[in-house]
């Protein structure tokens, strides 16, 4: 069955579009079934998508975006009122809605306790072309409150994340019609719930559950069945967390404490939670940053044998490192020696980068590649072309528009692997958001 992929777009960019692109007069506004042939006339609004069919159980191209390519949006086009985008954490299947977290401007800072440092306020936001940037608020609106968006359902209707409340930090689900709905109270002895990811239709939430005087547990939650707590069978006394979930909710990726560090596990109802990073080196560690919509692929970061690199895991190939950016593709970015270093477990390791997100079928991966001691660049990877800087796929016109910008990371990607968003340093050297539609 086709999902209700609301045809909301990123940013109201009429002036920008009229300056840089041919006028586009059709834009879907509220199509209930994502029918590719169903169009709604909304002249003068720059579209991010022109119609999709969002079926997460279907083929990889079940949710597609338009053929138009290029830079769709830069943060300086948005009215943020002085606030800063600090995180871009989720994208709907067709790229029409993005969620993340703002660092609020001109807001009083609070203290979490009498001995703690001041805390800058953060607020979850959603970004579409009809609504622009919409901060969504908090579970309980007080001066000390914070909220963070961590994911959005494939159809864009449900945002999940974490917010402070009178009871402490609490996981939530948010919709435009219902606002904030805190996750229901978990069974004793659980005292804190962290919502990390959501299934394609928004019906299933996964996260971590902190308990009194015992390791945290991973959880699955649905409105009908409530909570299902679980851990890695061979590591029941180690804390674990469910961090990502496939669109149909059948496959979960997360992390578990393992020896001195954490490692990635994969969960299905048939297999339970199984650690997929089986390195015998106790100094190795890994984390999952995303799972493909079809559940076949997990991507993330692994530190192994003094090298930190992005990885891709599939059942057929296991965990495979993607390496770093090839030297012949660094090009204009080569202003520092390749490979920076990071500290891992008290030792210095070569840091090649991080895989942040993957397309529906796992064939396209995006992330950040380190090219020197101080620089990283947003990359895209596929089996045929390997790792490439995303900016290298853009037209000369788009590159000119990016003068003064540095695309540091790609953090989210649409189901078809072509609409990408992430973080950058803008011409004022301030963290900012960017969105681009890449050629097929």
Q: What is the overall mean pLDDT for the chain? A: 78
**How much is the average pLDDT of 169-180?**
90
Helix-, strand-, coil-residue percentages of the chain, each rounded to 5: 5, 45, 45
| Ranges 44-58, 286-300, 317-331, 421-435: which has the least confidence | 44-58
Q: What is the pLDDT of residue 255?
A: 94
Residue 349 banded pLDDT, cuts 50, 70, 90: low
The tens digit of pLDDT for each residue in 370-415 reads: 986 668 999 999 999 999 999 999 999 999 999 999 999 999 999 9
Residue 280 banded pLDDT, cuts 50, 70, 90: confident
Backbone angles phi, psi at 156, to 5 degrees: 80, 5
Q: What is the pLDDT of residue 207?
A: 94
Residue 300 banded pLDDT, cuts 50, 70, 90: very high
For residues 340 and 351, give the distance between their C-alpha atoms in angstroms, rounded to a whole number: 5
**How much is the average pLDDT of 62-86?**
77
Q: What is the pLDDT of residue 110?
A: 46
For residues 424 and 391, give the distance between their C-alpha atoms in angstroms, rounded to a whole number: 12
Query: How much of the chain exceeds pLDDT 90, in percent?
Result: 48
Backbone angles phi, psi at 329, to 5 degrees: -110, 0
Q: What is the pLDDT of residue 387?
A: 96
Residue 189 banded pLDDT, cuts 50, 70, 90: low
Can you list the positions of beta strands (E) in 204-332?
204-211, 214-222, 226-230, 240-245, 252-258, 261-268, 272-275, 285-291, 297-304, 307-314, 318-321
Which secondary structure element, helix H or strand E, spans residue 437, and what is its range?
strand 431-437
Residue 422 banded pLDDT, cuts 50, 70, 90: very high
For residues 292 and 361, give the distance between their C-alpha atoms in angstroms, rounded to a whole number: 6
Q: What is the pLDDT of residue 257?
A: 84
Beta bridge partners of 85: 102
The answer on pLDDT for 291 being more than 90 is yes
User: CB under 8 Å to 174, separation ≥6 — which residues?
Assistant: 124, 136, 149, 158, 159, 160, 161, 180, 181
Q: What is the pLDDT of residue 346?
A: 43
- Of 96-110, 137-151, 298-312, 371-385, the range with the highest mean pLDDT is 298-312
Instruction: Name the 3-class secondary structure at 392.
Output: helix
Considering only residues 135 and 63, tell me which one the structure prediction assigns the higher pLDDT: 135
Six-digit token pair at 264? 């990635």
* Residue 278 CB coordination number (10 Å): 11
The answer on pLDDT for 135 being more than 90 is yes
User: CB under 8 Å to 320, separation ≥6 — which residues?
Assistant: 311, 312, 313
The tens digit of pLDDT for each residue in 253-275 reads: 999 987 667 899 999 999 999 99
Pairing of strands 272-275, 261-268: antiparallel
* Cis peptide bond prior to 189, omega within 30° of 0: yes
**How much is the average pLDDT of 165-179?**
85
The tens digit of pLDDT for each residue in 7-60 reads: 222 333 333 332 322 222 222 233 333 322 222 222 222 334 333 334 444 444
Is residue 247 within 8 Å of residue 199, measured between CB atoms? yes
The tens digit of pLDDT for each residue in 106-134 reads: 655 444 444 445 557 899 999 987 778 89
Residue 244 banded pLDDT, cuts 50, 70, 90: very high
Instruction: Name the 3-class secondary structure at 20.
Output: helix
Residue entry with tokens 């979850």: 124
Q: What is the pLDDT of residue 11?
A: 35
The answer on pLDDT for 331 being more than 50 is yes
In 3D, which of 101, 243, 205, 89 has the Cα closest to residue 151?
89
Residue 332 banded pLDDT, cuts 50, 70, 90: low
Q: What is the pLDDT of residue 49?
A: 38
Q: What is the pLDDT of residue 305?
A: 83
Handedness of CA 293, 295, 301, 307 (dihedral sign): negative
Handedness of CA 28, 31, 37, 41 (dihedral sign): negative
Q: What is the pLDDT of residue 157?
A: 93
For residues 344 and 335, give the distance between their C-alpha atoms in angstroms, rounded to a whole number: 25
The answer on pLDDT for 325 being more than 70 is yes
Residue entry with tokens 């209930």: 32
For residues 28 and 334, give the distance between their C-alpha atoms in angstroms, rounded to a whole number: 42
The answer on pLDDT for 2 being more than 70 is no
Q: What is the pLDDT of residue 216?
A: 85
Could you tell me the CA-to-CA distances from 159 to 55, 90, 339, 381 in Å, in that order? 19, 9, 36, 27
Domains of the chain in start order, with CATH, are: 14-437 (2.120.10.30)
Q: What is the pLDDT of residue 351?
A: 85
User: CB under 8 Å to 18, separation ≥6 — which residues?
Assistant: 44
**How much is the average pLDDT of 297-317?**
94
């Amino acid at each position: 069955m086709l999902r209700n992929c609301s045809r909301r777009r990123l940013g109201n960019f009429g002036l920008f579009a009229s300056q840089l692109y041919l006028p586009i007069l059709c834009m879907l506004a509220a199509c209930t079934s994502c029918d590719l042939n169903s169009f709604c006339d909304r002249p003068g609004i720059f579209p991010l998508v022109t119609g999709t069919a969002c079926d997460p159980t279907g083929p990889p191209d079940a949710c597609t975006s338009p053929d138009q390519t290029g830079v769709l949006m830069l943060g300086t086009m948005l009215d943020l009122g002085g606030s800063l985008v600090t995180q871009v954490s989720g994208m709907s299947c067709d790229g029409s809605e993005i969620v993340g977290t703002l660092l609020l401007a001109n807001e009083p800072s609070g203290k979490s306790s009498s001995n703690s440092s001041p805390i800058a306020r953060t607020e979850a936001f959603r970004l579409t072309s009809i609504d622009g940037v919409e901060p969504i608020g908090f579970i309980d609106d007080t001066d000390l409150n914070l909220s963070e968006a961590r994911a959005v359902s494939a159809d864009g209707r449900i945002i999940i994340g974490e917010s402070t409340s009178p009871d402490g930090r609490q996981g939530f689900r948010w919709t435009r019609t219902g606002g904030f709905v805190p996750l229901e109270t978990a069974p004793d002895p659980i005292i804190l719930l962290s919502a990390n990811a959501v299934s394609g239709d928004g019906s299933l939430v996964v996260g971590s559950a902190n308990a009194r005087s015992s390791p945290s547990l991973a959880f699955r939650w649905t409105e009908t069945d409530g909570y299902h707590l679980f851990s890695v069978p061979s590591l029941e006394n180690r804390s674990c967390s469910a961090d990502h979930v496939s669109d149909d909710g059948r496959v979960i990726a997360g992390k578990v404490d393992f020896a001195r560090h954490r490692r990635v596990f994969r969960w299905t109802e048939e297999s339970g939670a199984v650690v997929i990073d089986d390195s015998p080196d106790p100094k190795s560690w890994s984390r999952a940053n995303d799972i493909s919509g079809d559940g076949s692929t997990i991507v993330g970061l692994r530190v192994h044998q003094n090298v930190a690199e992005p990885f891709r895991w599939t059942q057929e190939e296991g965990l495979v490192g993607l390496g770093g950016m090839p030297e012949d593709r660094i090009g204009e970015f080569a202003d520092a020696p390749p490979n920076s270093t990071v500290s891992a477990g008290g030792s210095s390791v070569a840091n090649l980068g991080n895989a942040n997100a993957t397309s529906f079928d796992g064939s396209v991966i995006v992330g950040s590649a380190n090219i020197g001691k101080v620089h990283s660049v947003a990359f895209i990877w596929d089996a045929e072309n390997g790792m490439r800087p995303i900016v290298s796929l853009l037209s000369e016109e788009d590159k000119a528009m990016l003068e003064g910008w540095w695309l540091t990371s790609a953090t989210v990607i649409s189901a078809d692997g072509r609409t990408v968003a992430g973080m950058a340093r803008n011409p004022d050297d301030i963290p900012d958001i960017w969105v681009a539609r890449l050629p097929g």
